[in-house]
A and B are shown apart, each in its own frame.
Chain A
Amino acid sequence: MDNIAIIGLAQTRYERRKKDKIFLDLVYETTTAALDDAGLTIDDIDNVVTVSNDFFDGRTISGMAVGDAAGAYDKNISTVEGDGAFGAMYGAMRVLGGAGTTLVVAHCKGSEGDTATITNGMFDPIYQRHLGINAVTSSAIQANAYLHRYGITEQDIAMVSVKNHGNAKNNPFAQLPMDICVDDVMTSKKIADPLKLLDCSPVSDGAAAIIIADEKTAGRAAKPPVWIKGMAHCADEYFLGDRDLTNPRSLRQAAQKAYAMAGITDPFKEIHVAEIYEAFTYMEPLWLEGLGFCEPGQGPSLLKDGVTTMDGRLPVNPSGGVLSAHAVLVAGLARIIEIAEQLRDTAGARQVTGAGMGLAHGINGPCGQSHCVWILSKEK
């Protein structure tokens, strides 16, 4: 793969309800901030990739409505309807395809629609929707299957909430920085057994943008480029009943492809920091298993042994993760941005010392049907 890099980035602070902002405000603010960060103007951008979802926006072909705000007038613009990590991968492909410098901007206002209804709409309208399934209930099923299979306790996964909300205290963009203990998670409101309120990510409003460029353009960026060394995505079957929910095989494949592309043979040794898409607590250990950082069923041990805490060998979700801010679609791009900040040494109080290689991860579809894995590096 040719050398390409992330040369500009920006995100909003994530909040429960940005009542004073419309989509255009969020997209314009992050687009201009990402351009400033890169030291570029809109004239330097050749393509625009927007990331949005029509059900969340309540608008048909929602990507077209934010084109002006993304500086897409008279430019090549296309939209990815899915998580921002996938949108960013499409953006990277535009650069690799020779189409020039690409802006990727994602927005979502979870506050404006009804999240339960919208995520219910992910499922089959004939056989499943009427039964009361949505993002929360499907994830509760996955959590139950995962805990049952490996004898993992609810306290084990509650620890993820404690760690990530604690990490969020060092992230000025996070929505839910919190000082909590396992008991707080265990006694929080039951949502869908085994998930309690503090096992679940919040509803959020926010936006994020990155600029991806070839090596030549990266040379004139204002800040050190963050090099894209590997990226891959892979999908599992649509119907939950057709999958083994405790075995994220599509993640395993995506990770293996991304590692191979980046020349990584021992991810646990070579990767210094990871940002992964844990919309619910149990997802963090399960996805860590899929990423090959441990054996199946051993995910919770990584946290219990202190490996994934800020002072551990592999800090996971120093930003506070998706549990601390979950603007849907934006969240995968926010993972990439956090890793880029870490590799730039600009992550402030949450900086992982000596981070040279990082992993960012996004998901699409219920219970992680599809996974996207990014390997980013400080070194070319």
Chain B
Amino acid sequence: MTDPAAVVDVASLRLVFDGPPPLAVLDGVDLSVADGEFVSLVGPSGCGKSTLLRILAGLLAPTSGTARVHGEPVGVGRAAFMPQRDLLLPWRRALDNAALGADINGVPGAVARARAGELFGRFGLAGFERAWPSELSGGMRQRLALLRTFLLGRDVLLLDEPFGALDAITRRDMYAWLQQVWLADRRTVVFVTHDVEEAIYLSDRVLLLSPRPGRVVADIVVDTSRPRAPDVVTEPRFVAMKGTILAALEDSR
């Protein structure tokens, strides 16, 4: 499957970690994500979701197959990658962490910080600009990592369980909020999550991965208008969709 219009395009992707014993983590992954599309990856733990994102981020070379962003082989600096752990730099204050990408790419410090500072309110971090990461709560750290990712200004976002560390209630607020943020400029998103409801609520499509070695076993379209109300997931057909996905996840274990 190679779609010339796709922004993210993965074909026959295989990844084996060198042993001993060698570990095949991804085998025959095909997927493509169109411009401005929000696609979630769900699958059992250890099936290679984070590995796939690391490949798309240009950090890991596939064993075979192709992974392209905007038609070119993946490479570092192409897409904005948010790893599963927040990985804030302990020696940078919150505002400086947010501006990390800008600092790396040579944007003048004051400009980068002004731009980052404007978003602190929207990310629920107002007043914490000068805090050290060790002084932030888990949820704040995660939002700061997300803010840092958004500020990279790339049109493809690779988000690995951005809300994984949050409690259920904060999580709901966060995904309603993420939809708002995303709708503002509709960047292309590849979103890894364990939360099926979150995936349905946020996504245009949900891709289901098999257990390791992972490959895409189901491609479920969520066709309803945006912005979606928080209770959209309680509509019967989405409840049914959630049931289908959960059952598929259950079966694959």
The answer to whether A and B interact is: no
